[in-house]
Amino acid sequence: MPLWIWGSWIWPRIAEISSDVGIAIALITPLCGRLSSVSHGCRRYAKRVKGHNRNHEGGKVSEEEEFDVCIVGAGLAGLACARRLTFAHLRVALLEASDRVGGRVRTDLVDGFLLDRGFQVLQTAYPEARRVFDYPRLDLRPFQPGALVRVDGRFWRVSDPTRRPWEALASMRAPVGSAADKLKVALLLRRVRSVRPEELLHRPETSTYEALSSAGFSAKMIERFWRPLFAGIQLDPELATSSRMFEFVFRMLADGDASVPAAGIGALPAQLAAALPPGSVRTGTRVTRVERGRVTIEGSPDPASAGAVVVATEAPEAARLLGVPGTGSRSVACMYFSADRAPVPEPVLVLNGEGRGPINHLAVMSNAASSYAPGGSALISVSLLEAPGAGRKQAVRDQLQTWFGLGAQGWRHLATYDIAHAQPDQRPPWPAERPVRLAEGLYLAGDHRNTSSIQGALLSGRRAAEAILADLA
């Protein structure tokens, strides 16, 4: 998903297509039409954009250069847009206000620990991720299929019996729902696998909660399993998000692995940025105003001009720059702690099925990728859906102590990330695709144009790029 996109695979799954095949196809498939037509369009579209201060490698750039397209925001959407346009031989200037690429998908190094900006994983089944990322180079480390669910004062294991058959009996005993509930999950999975993933986003929609209720799931199953799981994915404890998004994400969870790159989630945007021509990315370049064909840069006396401008920021900033109504946002907080020993031995998601306390879920990141923590230490990510307030950290510590014993009070707090605009609110009605072309020469990209996920951000960037290429044809 901000994702904070996470999942559990506890029922039958289909055989996966090798990611290497998907990557190879993406690399050899022509990404633009008639190159002669596009090249002609590039010459017609090119205008001058002043180089600001540095590219993503920190090198100097010339004071004035020619670019065809100016992209505001170097998150996944902006980088995906730049990638597509670069393949089509357009010259791109990617303007980023912060000190590095990634937007919300970033990793900080703190005392030897890799701290992602919120709990985020890559769902390897995302079609657009397969298209653009080189999975082997990312050195992806998967989380274990299944979850530990906290219910009735203890942890219960819920596993995929087809992949971990030795845990099938323990999963059946888990008091997260009845045997009928678990059968209904298998039926739901069969239904969402009966069509192509993209078709799920065009089905009639309702809320996630109403979809689960209509499918016949018991209140116990919804409260103890579905709510904490999808509250973590969609940052939506009310389960008000569109059922289209629920079904699509559920399909992705079943068809792929939830993984993190060994170098942190920030390796995703870093890989995209590294493939762009030198000088394409200008960090430390804050855009204060956007108009058709030009942008105003903070501290620069003259607007920068380009034939096309793409706003690829998060939704509230895009609304501010463009002067258009924005979409609502969902927030999340993530606390990181270090410990001498991991509280659970496996790389598995721990869900709060009791509905009490500030914690929604947690994960020991170093169990999935040892590179997330220095030797002899464990890194624990704790996700919260409550608003910041006095005493929050102590309340989290108290709940951790209840779960894992007195030793948890000795865990060292490393950092807390409060992310106000982690995901766009996707209550129904939520169209599968929102327009990316606002006017001639002005475009929009971001997960608010598609789905609130890594998939949605990448796809929206490609859609914006292809809209530009279509206008040039």
pLDDT for the residue 47: 52
pLDDT for the residue 186: 86
Residue 24's CB is within 10 A of a number of other CB atoms, namely 11
**What would the CATH number be for the domain defined by 31-104+266-327+429-472?**
3.50.50.60
pLDDT along the chain (473 residues), means of 10: 39 34 33 34 45 41 68 99 98 97 98 98 98 99 93 90 76 91 89 94 97 98 96 96 97 94 99 97 96 92 91 96 88 98 97 97 98 98 90 96 96 97 94 93 96 97 98 90
What CATH fold (topology level) applies to the domain 142-261+329-424? Polyamine Oxidase; Chain A, domain 2 (3.90.660)
Closest CA to 116 of 265, 328, 276, 295: 265
* Interaxial angle between packed helices 35-45 and 454-472, expressed in degrees from 0 to 180 and rounded to the nearest 10: 80
pLDDT for the residue 65: 62
pLDDT for the residue 162: 66
All structural domains of the chain with their residue ranges: 31-104+266-327+429-472, 142-261+329-424
pLDDT for the residue 64: 55
pLDDT for the residue 432: 85
